[in-house]
Structure 1
Amino acid sequence: MTLEALQSDLLSAPKLDWDFLLDAPLRIVIIILGAIVLNIVMRLVIRRFSAAVAKGTVGSEKKSEHSKFSSTVLESQRTGIEPTVIRERRAQRAKTVGRMLSSVTTILISVIAVLMVLDQMNFNIAPILASAGIVGVALAFGAQELVKDYLSGFFMVIEDQYGIGDTVDLGEAVGEVEDFGLRKTAVRDLTGTLWHVRNGEIMRVGNLSQGWARAVLEIPVKYTTSMETYSEITEAVTSSLSANPDVAAAVLETPEISGVQSLSAEYRVIRTMIKTKPNLQWMVERAFRAELTNEFDKRGIDFPIVQETVLRSLPGMSGPLGSDDDNRPEAGGKQPQRTDTAPSPLPSDDEIRATTDETAVDSGDGEG
């Protein structure tokens, strides 16, 4: 091919439409790059926010974790929870919130970018928006329970109502939280049953692991044991429990004797309360009862009989009421003599039936 032929081919070739390339394609590229950059920036912001939530420095000046004025230390002093546990709960809550915010942000940015690209390609997005509205309404009716579960779980995480390892009361499910997500909560009860509870169905939450707990003991004591003696026994039990490092670390305050809770003919019930660390009140209750039993034994004090059955017999009867068949009139036995001071004997089943039959016969005669 000669040089003249090559120049002729180049001159006859179609020219590139630079105006078209600088119009829609360039805007589409800018939209895609802008969406990617915006998504990266939003993820960085969310990550920094999650890190601040995990450290407890949101809305306050940054302080060292080991400072005595840090939020972790102050919360630990207020609630009695170890700082390590507080940091773990915050990290878990921040991770959950950050993951959800990142997903929602990515979805929103992607949907908006796709619609803008379709608009630049001269697609009529009005039917798409209308269809999306109809589908959204249908999904709102069909997945309203799912949306309710996610929203409830999100606010539970934000408000730190409970976390993994907490002992909670969710109504039907009571036990330790083994898994906690935005849609459902898994609770393991005392018998080992794993309950899966949807967050949208949780109407109230009783958290036994936040802040502090209280061991409530109701001790039956005879009337021969005075309140002063019981107070001395409680002090002795407290002194004995302080020698146990596990129990001593769980108790936050000395036992408080609230007073007499109830009265009966044989004993009175005295309520004693002990403020403890969360989830340790049952251990303190068991230890207190064990030491209280030992202290009662040392002082020679017996616990009263809580339930008692009394069998009483009538005068002239050899056994309890209704146990001796020979005393019945139909058996030929001798009926006990009634006196003015003796109580009247209770009617037997046959006497009750005979009285009922006579009443029915009299009513029939009156009607005739």
Structure 2
Amino acid sequence: MTGFRMQGVEDVPEVVGNAFVDFITTYQVPLRILLIIAVAVTLNWVLRRVLMRTVTRIVQGVKRAQDVDTTSEIQAAPYVNARAVQRTRTLGSVGRAAITWIIVAIALILVLSELSVNVGALVASAGIIGAGLAFGAQNIVKDLLNGIFMVFEDQLGVGDWITVGDVSGTVEDVGIRVTQVRAVDGTLWFVRNGEILTLGNSSQGWGRALVDVTVQADSDLAEVERVTMETAKSLMRDPATARKITGEPEVWGVESAYGDRATLRLAMRTRPEAQWAVQRALRAELIRRFNEEGIQLATELPQYPGGAG
């Protein structure tokens, strides 16, 4: 009896091993499919994370080297460095989508192979079907091609302030088919790339702050121009605005005159996206200086034929 029991205990590993082998043999195809899916999901997560960490390090490295908080404030070689940051973000955004689609395609082919599907014939059939669908899905093809060209031609980048039709805002994501734009009121707009026919980008190269100063027509315009220039130059010495300004202020003279009003235009070259902040600072400082100098700003709107303007 003891010998029988000892023999049964010794056979347990063999029985378990045989059961495991039988299980693997029976379910080897489903198990391989599960393994392919698990590897694909893990690889996709790892590659996307590595890509975004690389993008983040590049962006932070440039900003740290320049000691700035925003891309538009980069001082040394501003255009090259700023566009490098924006382009890195954009390529990172497109790269995430590309990684996902490539891994999904490879995993699908491997899964079909495990199911004994003739992948070669399937690919050939897919090519024929794709050619037929292209005629019915021209908008999708147009979106994809336009998105690719926009990215590689550096027409826009993540973080850029753009205007597309009636939509103005910051680019949050550039996809191969759709670009996401966050408007100033927080609305997130999804713009199809194929529908972008005209695009204005305020984040490339440089900006220009324009401020119109309207005073009474009988004012001393030379004195108004002098105070305006002094005010603009004082902002160039202010640490809060100095690094946003890249050019000397210019008064373009009398921009318009109507009745008892005269308007002078002040222009100042700035870094990309900094023109609006400089304009606000200029207006506030001009009001303060004009009050000190006793210069009266025009308060009444001009009357145009047919009603109030």
- SS of the residue 1:163 aligns to: coil
Q: Which has the higher helix share?
A: 2
- SS across alignment from 2:214: strand
Check the 8 A contact 2:150/2:156 in 1, yes or no: yes
Please say if 1:171 is aligned against 2:130.
Answer: no
**Map of 1:43 onto structure 2:** none
Aligned with residue 270 of structure 2, among 266, 272, 276 = 276
Match of 2:216 in 1: 222
Match of 1:92 in 2: 89
1:211 partnered with 2:194: no
Indicate yes or no: 2:261 matched with 1:267: yes
Q: 182-191 or 241-250: which moved more?
A: 241-250
1:144 aligns with 2:157: no
Structure 1 residues 187 and 96, CA gap change in structure 2 (3 angstroms): closer
How far 1:165 sits from its partner (Å)?
1.4
Query: Offset at 1:220?
Result: 0.9
Rounded to whole Å, the distance in 1 between the matches of 2:166 and 2:244 is 29
Instruction: State how far apart, in whole Å, the 2-side matches of 1:136 and 1:145 are.
Output: 14
Give SS of 1:261's match. Answer: strand
Return the offset for 1:237.
0.6
Question: Counterpart of 2:88 in structure 1: which amino acid?
Answer: A
Partner of 1:29: none
The change in CA–CA distance for 1:257 and 1:105 in structure 2 (over 3 A counts) is same
- Judge conservation of contact 1:214–1:273 (CA < 8 Å) in 2: yes
2:178 to 161, 170, 184: 184
| % identical equivalent positions | 38
Partner residue, 1:32: none
TM-score by length of 2: 0.63
**One-letter code of the match for 2:284?**
A
The corresponding residue for 1:26 is none
Q: Which residue of 1 aligns with 2:11?
A: none
In 1, the alpha carbon distance for the partners of 2:222 and 2:79 equals: 32
Q: 2:242 matched to 1:245?
A: no
On the 8 A contact 2:93/2:174 being kept in 1, the answer is: no
Instruction: Give SS of 1:250's match.
Output: coil
Report 1 or 2 for greater relative contact order, CA contacts < 8 Å, sequence distance ≥ 6.
2
- Structure with the larger strand share: 2
Cα distance in 2 for residues equivalent to 1:154 and 1:106: 19
Report the aligned-residue RMSD. 4.1
Structure 2: runs of 5 or more not aligned: 1-53, 59-64, 66-73, 304-309
| Paired residue type of 1:88 | V
Say yes or no: does 1:197 pair with 2:194: no
Opposite residue 188 of structure 1, the aligned amino acid is R
Correspondent of 1:161 among 155, 162, 176: 155
Matched letter for residue 305 of structure 1: T
Tell me: CA distance 1:288–1:207, structure 2 relative to 1, closer, same or farther (3 Å).
Answer: same
